[in-house]
Chain A
Amino acid sequence: MLRGENQMFWRALSLRSKLMLLTLAGLFTAVFISFWQLRQSYRARQSALKSDFRIHAASAAGGIAANFAERYTDVQAFALNSVFQSGNREQMTNVLNSLVAGYQVYDTIMFVDATGAFVASNNRSFDGRALDTKVMDGRSFADTPWFQRAFRGESSDDKLRGFSGSTVEDLQVDPISTALHGATLQGMSFSKAVIASDGRVAGVVTARASLRFVESEMRSSFERLRQSGLQTAQLLLMNKDGLLSAEITSDLLGEKGEVKRNQDRILRWNVATQQGQFAAQEAVAGRSGSVVEFDRVGRVERLWGYAPLREQRFPEGFNWSIVVSVSADEVLGDLLLQRNISYGSLAFVLFAFGLLGYGTARSISRELLECSVRMKEDSIRLVEAGDELNEALRKVADHDPEEAGRVAVVEEQGKGMLDEIEKRTAALAECSVVLQRMHGDLGVSLERSGVVIESVRSVNAEILIMDEISSRLDELQGKLAAINEIVFKAQLVSFNASIEANRAGQFGKGFASIAAEIQLLSESTEQVAREINEISTKTQRKMIETTGSLRARMGGMERNAADWAGSLESVRSGFPAIVRCVQETAESLQGQDQVVGRICETVERVEVALAKASQIRSEVNRHVQDVREQSYRLEDLVQDLGHVVKGVRTRSRLKKNANQDGLVASRVTQATSERARADAVDRLAQKMRPRLVVESDGHEPEVTDFAVKQESNRRAG
């Protein structure tokens, strides 16, 4: 069913629409396939990139951890330096300067004695700038945590990972370096107690490592990324709270490779609490991996790889973590461009579909509009037809007695027709049944004729066998001819033998008897051969005659049977048409039955309408009567009004002429006004007359009566 509708829909389309639909379908398929391929390649590239970035993050974390381990052990080496036990402050300063210059990662290396009092520190920075150590003179660090812990020998150990012996403070704004360098400097402190030869604590060496030691590792990772073509790479180091500890981007790298620090962000900007920084949160939580970050509209913004440093050789408790990210445009730009092109293509195809749909909808709406206009016209025509019907009903009502009689006659005839039709329908149904039975009988006869034809064919086959026997008899005749030839030869031999015996005379008598025997033999043989020949000839003749007549007869029978079957078949094939015809006739009679029923109903309705029309007529007559009475009253009123007008006019003229013409003139005026009044009333009556004609609905005799009456009234008046 659905398939049929689809086929009808497809056939109903014009060629242009079909071509357009096919083109659009092809375009849509192509776009879909390219979309799918793009999605697959996009996913593959993305997973590869994610794996890469995870490795990048882990590599950077490994570098930082290794550098940290060096810093951890550096201070222990420093503390072993004997200069701190010598008490020579100048020597200590020199040694510390050389250490700072040598390692390049320390801002400050300072020695305090066992009481926490400042003893010595470097007075030159790692890049050779002079530092004023006077700010440190006299300062005591006895109450600082690093001193106390180092002095007590409490070190930040993680023996599982090989850290032991140094007291470490986490990254912070280093007050000592800040004071010494006169600028805000962040760093870590690695402290170690200096043990004198007698075993007591001589002081504490504290090495203030700058952010440079992490920045150098991050920079090398960054350089590796940049070398692989990723210019928008970004590395962020976070402490255990997620605060930014160090960052490397291409903007923050100077020409010589130095790192510019954004002091507003370091240790102030919490990376993990930023919205969307899923990677940072994961890294702070101690998990490593990689993630794709989407912006608010679902586009890929950045790729992130993240790793906590504790996965590397890094002491427990600090929980630093690092994230490496890159802009998605850089790594997936080409695919994103392709995706945008695909979006555009899809939008175009959908737009084209929409355009097609719009066109179709517009044409359909136009057709609907035309259809509605036609329906409106039809409804108007229907109303007109209804009016005409009403008019006709009115006319019928005017002649209702006769029409009612005719209608009754028509109804009677209709009922008679109904009965007749029912009878004929029943007869036709019976006829149809009989025809169907005959149809079945004909089918049986047809089968039997088939059997007859089959038997005729089998007889024909036997005739063929007889023909074959006849041909064999021909062969036998040939053989008999050969025998006759032999007999003839034998006769010749016997004759010659007789001749020879005759020639031999007396001596040839014995030979003559042999010749006679041979001749007898040959004669008898010839006789037998002749008889055989006669028999075979007779048989053959009979057989030929029989087969000929049989064949002729069978051919006739076969032809007759075939003709019979053909005629039966044609009759049989004609039967369904006849049955169908009869059924259709019966159906049409039923339809006529219904139609006649409807006609009868209509006639009944017409009767009802006639009754109503006669009611309406009587009501209209009553209304005409009412209107007539009203007109009489109106006429009376007009007369009264005429009287009043006449009186007023007379009075005014009397009053006017009394002073001028006297009594005679007043009489003349009275007579004139009498005529004028009569004319006015006449005019009023004339005016009223057409209106009354209209109201009385064309009953001219009534109006005429009314006019006569009005005239008489006027005369009486």
Chain B
Amino acid sequence: MNSPVMMDQAQRQLFLLFRVQGELYGTPLTGVREIVSYVKPREVPNTKKFYLGIISLRGDVVGVMDMRFWFQDMKPATASTVARALIVFESSSGVMAVAADAIESICQLDNKDIEYAKSIPSSFSAGGMIGLGRFKQGLATLLDVRALLNHVDVAAERKERWAC
């Protein structure tokens, strides 16, 4: 309800399903600008670990995030899989991309198939967490990635920087 991408309850929403570390995630298609093949980003100093670096996408500088480290508070920060695609979003802090291991599909989902996040405990703030969606591929975590990217801070903390 409090999600910025919240649509009409009666409407069906389009979600982009992708996998990271074998887990199925979904994000509303409206926030997605495009999907490109994975390009190794150029690292940027004094940034956090999940900020992989920047790439040049048709002249635009795009920052690349790694969800495997971004969600480290929730899941173990391991990188056992290889990212194959970058999902590009236009956030308020600029054009950002998120690395995904695989793009599953674009699916429409009825509201009845969505278990909203109010019943799911989460540390995500600002409505980043939508809920769980039931797809034919299985249950997927529905995240409003663009909303999450609006509030992300990629600059490294001082002690962390000195520790490096």
Q: How far, in angstroms, from A496 to B35 measured CA to CA in the complex?
A: 6
Nearest to B28 among chain A residues (CB) is A502
Give the shortest distance, in Å, between B96 (CB) and chain A (any CB): 16
Q: Contact: A502 with B103, CB < 8 Å?
A: no
A495 surroundings in chain B (CB, below 8 A): 16, 35, 103, 106
A489 surroundings in chain B (CB, below 8 A): 37
Residue A498 lies at the interface, judged by CB distance under 8 Å to chain B: yes
Residue B14 lies at the interface, judged by CB distance under 8 Å to chain A: yes
Give the shortest distance, in Å, between B104 (CB) and chain A (any CB): 9
A519 surroundings in chain B (CB, below 8 A): 105-106
Q: Contact: B34 with A496, CB < 8 Å?
A: yes
Q: Contact: A488 with B84, CB < 8 Å?
A: yes
Q: Contact: B34 with A499, CB < 8 Å?
A: yes
**Which one of A488, A491, A499 lies within 8 Å of B29 (CB-CB)?**
A499
Q: How far, in angstroms, from A488 to B18 measured CA to CA in the complex?
A: 13
Interface string of B67-90 (1 = CB under 8 A from A): 000000000000000001100000
Mostly, the B contact residues are strand
Give the shortest distance, in Å, between A494 (CB) and chain B (any CB): 8
A residues 41-84 with Cβ under 8 Å of B? none
Instruction: Count how many chain A residues have C-beta atoms less than 8 Å from C-beta atoms of the other chain.
Output: 11
**How many CB-defined contacts (below 8 Å) exist between A and B?**
32
Q: How far, in angstroms, from A495 to B85 measured CA to CA in the complex?
A: 12
Residue A466 lies at the interface, judged by CB distance under 8 Å to chain B: no
Q: Contact: B29 with A498, CB < 8 Å?
A: yes
Instruction: Count how many chain B residues have C-beta atoms less than 8 Å from C-beta atoms of the other chain.
Output: 15
Instruction: Name the residue in A492, A499, A502 with the highest tally of chain B Cβ atoms < 10 Å from its Cβ.
Output: A499
Q: Contact: B32 with A492, CB < 8 Å?
A: no
Q: How far, in angstroms, from A503 to B33 measured CA to CA in the complex?
A: 9
Q: Contact: A499 with B33, CB < 8 Å?
A: yes
Residue B36 lies at the interface, judged by CB distance under 8 Å to chain A: yes
Give the shortest distance, in Å, between B151 (CB) and chain A (any CB): 23
B106 surroundings in chain A (CB, below 8 A): 495, 498-499, 519
Q: How far, in angstroms, from A159 to B2 measured CA to CA in the complex?
A: 180
Q: How far, in angstroms, from A646 to B110 measured CA to CA in the complex?
A: 188
Q: How far, in angstroms, from A491 to B105 measured CA to CA in the complex?
A: 8
Q: Contact: A492 with B36, CB < 8 Å?
A: yes
Q: Contact: B37 with A499, CB < 8 Å?
A: no
Residue B3 lies at the interface, judged by CB distance under 8 Å to chain A: no
A488 surroundings in chain B (CB, below 8 A): 37, 84-85
Q: Jot down 14 A-B pairs with beta carbons below 8 A, ordered by A.
A: A488-B37, A488-B84, A488-B85, A492-B36, A492-B37, A492-B85, A492-B103, A498-B14, A499-B29, A499-B32, A499-B34, A499-B35, A499-B106, A502-B29
Known: A498-B14, A499-B29, A519-B105; 13 extra A-B contacts, CB below 8 A, are: A488-B37, A488-B85, A492-B37, A495-B16, A495-B35, A495-B103, A495-B106, A496-B35, A498-B106, A499-B16, A499-B35, A502-B30, A519-B106
Chain B positions within 8 Å of A, measured between CB atoms, are: 14, 16, 29-30, 32-37, 84-85, 103, 105-106
The 6 closest A-B pairs by CB, nearest first: A498-B106, A495-B35, A502-B29, A496-B34, A492-B35, A499-B32
Chain A positions within 8 Å of B, measured between CB atoms, are: 488-489, 491-492, 495-496, 498-499, 502-503, 519
